[in-house]
Amino acid sequence: MTTILGVAFLIGQVVAWRQLVGEGIYLASNPASSFFYIFTGAHALHLLGGVGALSYVAWRNFERAQVTRVVAAEVTSYYWHFMDGLWLFLLVLLYLGK
C-alpha cells in the first residue's frame, strides 16, 4: 500500500508541477515558488528512494542473496520511519517558524 500511495503522490506531484509551469510559475519566479518546488522536490526524491527500497524487497530473489527478505524489509522500514520523523520535524519547524 505504501508503494502505491508513494507512486500516486509522485504522479500527482508531476501533474501539479506541470500545471504550475502551464501558468507560468517556475522555480525562479519568486521566493514562494522556489520554496515550493525545492520542498516538494526533496519530498519526491526521498519518496522515490523509499519506493525503490520497497520495490527491491518486493521483487528481489532472496534465495541466493546475502541478506534475507526480513532484514531487507526491516532496513527499509528504518528508512521510512526516519523519513516520517524528519518530515514531522520539518512540519513542526515550519509551523512554529511563522
Q: Per residue in 29-62, pLDDT tens?
A: 999 999 999 999 999 999 999 999 999 999 998 9
Rg of the chain taking only CA atoms, in angstroms: 17
For 30-61, give the DSSP string.
-HHHHHHHHHHHHHHHHHHHHHHHHHHHHH--
Q: Which residues contact 33 (CB under 8 A, 6 or more apart)?
A: 20, 25, 26, 27
Tell me the three cell numbers of residue 17: 508541477
Give the mean model confidence (pLDDT) for residues 10-28: 95
Give percent above pLDDT 90 in the chain.
80
Q: What pLDDT score does 23 carry?
A: 96
pLDDT at 89 over 80: yes
Contact 76, 54 (CB under 8 A): yes
**pLDDT band, very low/low/confident/very high, at 85 (cuts 50, 70, 90):** very high
Reading the block at residue 56, the C-alpha cell is 527491491
